Structure 1
């Protein structure tokens, strides 16, 4: 779906491979579509995005029907905007960035981005979508201090400066920075993107610059908003799907009138994608998302209450789900989870206790802890050997993968682990074999958990058994997510456990922000991340050589202009993580169960992740369709 060619030595053009005139496509009207709507030829763009199902190895679908799925909480209705995955640019299944909502984009010198919208593209309410909607976001939302007092988001800033924005014509805009901005396009392709466009025709009526003051005041009073800006921000809800009146470009849009336990999302009759037979996508008419207790979703899925389910299912549910296949007629596919590790132990390198800080920053100690874990036993015991033992790093699906990243310091070798701990000077032991720290405290590590995943506790129990062999006592402390994060903020957290790096399948074009201390959300180095996020107003400046180097490399990536530069930066960052064992990963590529009940074009083998991937999104849920039995 991508065609690109060089223009001179410094520019690339990305555009849709298919073209409307060349295919002379005969558009087909969707059966059952509201007869009051304009014909399909007036609803889709002049040059829609045309999907060749045969070339994608998929079946041309039959439109119609309702897909039922289960969510664990009401706010998960926003997942429809994740799974739909209509983005200005998005990832294809080869992890390439390609135009989607955009007809094409051009990149010059890594710093000049020209975006072309599709002529005749319309919002879900039938109003035109184009350059004005991008202009409105940039000039009247992002640059408005009342709506956005924090200023432009980081992905729009380079060395503290925003871009020059130009609206070249009704379908073309240009962003120009003084230096390269490699963050820009990947940000647009995220599961939760910034939506750098807004339905200007809808939101202007609530904007002080454009709307009628008496109307805004009346609406603000009705919605209990303190002024026009809070009102605008409340109604400007592109991601969370909390405003059913807000026009959308996604394949399904939320309807009015549902309860807070059952959400109905209807097809967008103005959606921009069609298949090569002329049938407008999405194939499925309606998606119904029903809220259920997260602990019961596996059982409800087994009983046939969901047509497509991955959310709130985990590896531990596979046995039960497989048992229900014959009775309920569904298939349980096993997709590859794309996190760097299913479970990762996170030493807090910015803990405030000076003794623990010195010990945790000693790579011999982290190596010893890693060598003291029998990952193969954990894989066999918890995951039937279906995962891959090793470090928290990139997976072999990633073009950046090297085998050493996974295996370095990750073999089970208690003898070498004991030797390293002796080398550090932790030779004194108490009667039960537990080593003593230099201040006389026993080497007892409290690993705090979020209490959300039984597999984390089970894995730590197994780690505790083998750490005994090296004189380390492990205590599991179940807690809650907010409490653990608060303890990281205060510096009281010594060690925690969570899943590994969110993106285990990066390319050089994806930002390595998780591999450097760029965010205070990371439990392994909160204070350094907070320092970066607050530009030195909070946290601590990194004073540990590997962290300093990782930040230098990250800054170099931000200033890079070529894929070759970015690839070399990624390689060094990944090698630092492998050499230092900053995270102690256990097992990766643990299968994610995906239950498919009468839904066609859903792959049986695929990747499952948040960024990149958008869970179902990268596999184009708008191309899924229901078989005749389930097309109700």
Structure 2
């Protein structure tokens, strides 16, 4: 183990090639504003040291400015896809999932305790105001340290042994965070799809803060924006992950210009975005992105009818043949990326279900193992995925350095005889006239599996599993509901089992947080109450009442104190072993393929990629700001 570990993140080239900066290369999109003098020329809009993205080194082509990309979303909430796909972060992942500075010019980490951030001089928010250490100071002292705004205290990611970091402003462009013990989760959480917010536009946000605004004006703003308290106003106006406030300055490549409610959201290029290509052209290349709201169940049909230029939302593998057929009718191209979830869809037994009989059964590992062994994954793969997916438990993929073959097959081979034996061992030997096993209280063993009803794929899978489980005396009934209702029912204990995706991050490294393997969130449908307890620091929910989930929480705590990658890997290995052996999530297949549709002349989007929410941020690590339209012949 190393006593000291220092990472220095800095771009290999922080200065543009000689002559390129002077050339200007203005987007035509800003022509009128430049002529009117309402926008500064590009030399004044870029940081002194912009991030230079050398596309040639990435195997891609430098592009040209212009064009509008149309995409379809399932609800207004999905405008958050712009924050995820735009993937502008203080520190972010590259395509190889290595951390690198992005918005920051550089960063330094010493022993994962002391983090020093260097801000790009001259970097500006989308409204033209400068990004400086004052924005970091405001976020820390006036937001995180404000007892009204943060009544629950600091986010867990900022706490080590219950203590937050020390914060220092070293100069106008340098800030530092210092913990007494290692906090290896800090940089990954900043690089996450829903990032830990460490910087806000102070000049804009101060008008909504009681410390900087007079009481009369603050009251007027509360009435204008329909907020009962100044805290609610501040939160509403500062929301960056779901960018509903068009006036909120951003550092993303595109900024929202449409206030909800709306059936179409228009995102326009950020004139102060900090990235340029090797020719000095300011990214993004694309001028506008239009997000049209539609019902989930017709997104595929609309995409196939030529109503989108870039689409993955609302598409499943079952839509692939239809999408490929659209290539004959429209100038589009459809490719397949590999999904990075631990399982394309997983069955999640609710260990917190309120029914005492079902709770006892769900918490018996023999029952979970039996249900998993009874699934014929080979048939599912052939029927639903044309044999192109990998039959697997819900675990990490071969692309992860943490992958082990035994994790893939853990209680995931088709063995109905072994499944029957396990159910007999539990004592579920009595059957009704239809051959269904009986619960201890005499009810038939009928499992209601609930889904959010957003995909026909889930129904296709469950119909096959219904036949598999019937062979071991277990009945399956499918129930669909809306996502919000679905999650509320899970937390209340009404749901006994649900179908959702498997592990969000199926390609982790040892330096990524293993919290997805432990009860850490109320959105984990197999143990929402235990997750709520962790998330709220014991204020809500319940502590884990089983030794294995508690062990996972303890191991997660050890990971958060580990200062060496080797130790973190050991912890990951143990947690993966427990999670797989206990079958807390019943995986079916992974490495499934995701249809990705783009306009045929849209360049620089890879034909192959890893597709997932975490850590690749869907398109994020592939940098959509570098996509561009080739002129039509």
Report the TM-score when normalising by structure 2: 0.94
The reply on whether 1:604 has 2:599 as its aligned counterpart is: no
* Maintained 8 Å contact 2:16/2:52: no
In 2 relative to 1, CA 258–521 (structure 1 residues): closer, same or farther, beyond 3 Å? Answer: closer
1:614 and 2:617 equivalent? yes
Contact in 1 for aligned 2:76/2:261 (Cα 8 Å): no
Q: CA deviation at 1:394?
A: 0.9
From the superposition, tell whether residues 493 and 300 of structure 1 become closer, same or farther in structure 2 (CA, over 3 Å). Answer: closer
Q: CA deviation at 1:430?
A: 3.2
Structure 2 partner of 1:17: 12
CA–CA distance in 1 between the matches of 2:221 and 2:487?
38
CA distance in 2, matches of 1:443, 1:257: 49
Q: 1:232 to 1:358 in 2, by over 3 A?
A: closer
Pick aligned residue for 1:370 from 369, 372, 375: 372
TM-superposed deviation, 1:70: 1.7
Match of 2:219 in 1: 217
Q: CA deviation at 1:447?
A: 1.9
- Alignment deviations for residues 326-356 of structure 1 (CA, whole Å, 9 cap, x no partner): 1101011111111111111111223343433
Match of 2:24 in 1: 28
Q: Please say if 1:195 is aligned against 2:197.
A: yes
Q: Deviation per CA, 1:99-133, whole angstroms, max 9, x where unpaired?
A: 10001111112111111111111111222112111
Q: 2:244, 2:260 within 8 Å by CA — same for their partners in 1?
A: no
Partner of 1:271: 273
Q: Distance in 2 between matches of 1:157 and 1:402?
A: 32
Residues 485 and 16 of structure 1, relative CA distance in 2, 3 Å threshold: same
Alignment of 1:345 onto 2:347: yes
Q: Distance in 2 between the 1:67 and 1:451 partners?
A: 28
**Which whole-Å CA distance do the structure 1 matches of 2:350 and 2:57 have between them?**
48
Change (3 A) 1:7 1:131: farther
Q: Indicate if the aligned counterparts of 1:338 and 1:504 stay in contact, CA closer than 8 A.
A: yes
Alpha-carbon deviations, 1:227-282, whole Å to 9, x = none? Answer: 44333322222222222111111111122589812222221111111111111111
Which aligned segments of 4 or more residues in structure 1 are displaced greater than 6 angstroms? 21-24
Secondary structure of the corresponding residue to residue 264 of structure 1: strand
Deviation at 1:372, TM superposition (A): 0.7
Residues of 1 paired with 2:125 and 2:537: CA distance?
A: 39
User: 5+ unaligned residues in a row in structure 1: which ranges?
Assistant: 1-5
How much has 1:8 moved relative to structure 2? 8.5
Contact 1:29–1:39 at 8 Å: present in 2 too?
Answer: no
**Any residues of structure 2 matched to 1:397-416 within 5 Å, and which?**
397-416=399-418
CA distance in 2, matches of 1:263, 1:206: 25
- In the alignment, the residues of structure 2 paired with residue 170 and residue 391 of structure 1 have an alpha-carbon distance, to the nearest angstrom, of 50
Q: Which residue number corresponds to residue 328 of structure 2?
A: 326
Contact 1:258 1:264 in 2 (8 A): no
Q: Deviations over 1:7-44 (max 9, x none)?
A: 98332211112131776754532231331322222211
Cα 1:483/1:311, change in 2 over 3 Å: closer
Partner of residue 3, structure 1? none
Aligned to 2:469: 467
The C-alpha deviation readout for 1:370-415, integer Å capped at 9, x for no partner, is: 1111011111111212211111111111111111111111111112
CA deviations 1:274-307 (Å, max 9, x no partner) are 1111111111112122223332222222222211
Cα distance between partner residues in 2 of 1:38 and 1:582: 56
Which 10-residue stretch deviates more, 213-222 or 181-190? Answer: 213-222
Residues 349-369 of structure 1 show CA distances to partners (whole Å, capped at 9, x for unaligned) of 233434333332222222221
Matched position secondary structure for 1:248: coil
**Deviations 1:67-112 (CA, angstroms, capped at 9, x unpaired):** 2222222332232222111100111111111110001111112111
Equivalent-residue separation in structure 2 for 1:352 and 1:305 (angstroms) = 45
Given that 1:28 and 1:280 are in contact with CA atoms closer than 8 Å, whether structure 2 keeps it comes out as: no
Structure 2: gaps of 5 or more residues: none
- When structure 1 is superposed on structure 2, of 263-272 and 432-441 the one drifting more is 432-441
Greater shift, 31-40 or 112-121, is seen at 31-40
Q: Deviations over 1:591-623 (max 9, x none)?
A: 111111021000110111112122111110000
**Aligned-partner SS, 1:578:** helix
1:333 match: secondary structure: strand
Deviation at 1:213, TM superposition (A): 4.1
Q: Following the alignment from structure 2 to structure 1, what is the Cα–Cα distance between the partners of residues 370 and 542?
A: 27
Q: Which residue of 2 aligns with 1:289?
A: 291
Q: For 2:103, what is the secondary structure of its paired residue? A: coil
Which residue is equivalent to 1:517?
519
Q: Sort the Cα spacing of 1:486 and 1:86 in 2 relative to 1 into closer, same or farther, 3 A.
A: closer
| Aligned twin of 2:106 | 104
- Match of 1:629, SS state, is coil
* Offset of residue 482 of structure 1: 3.8
Using the TM superposition, name which of 27-36 and 393-402 deviates more. Answer: 27-36
Aligned CA-pair RMSD: 2.2
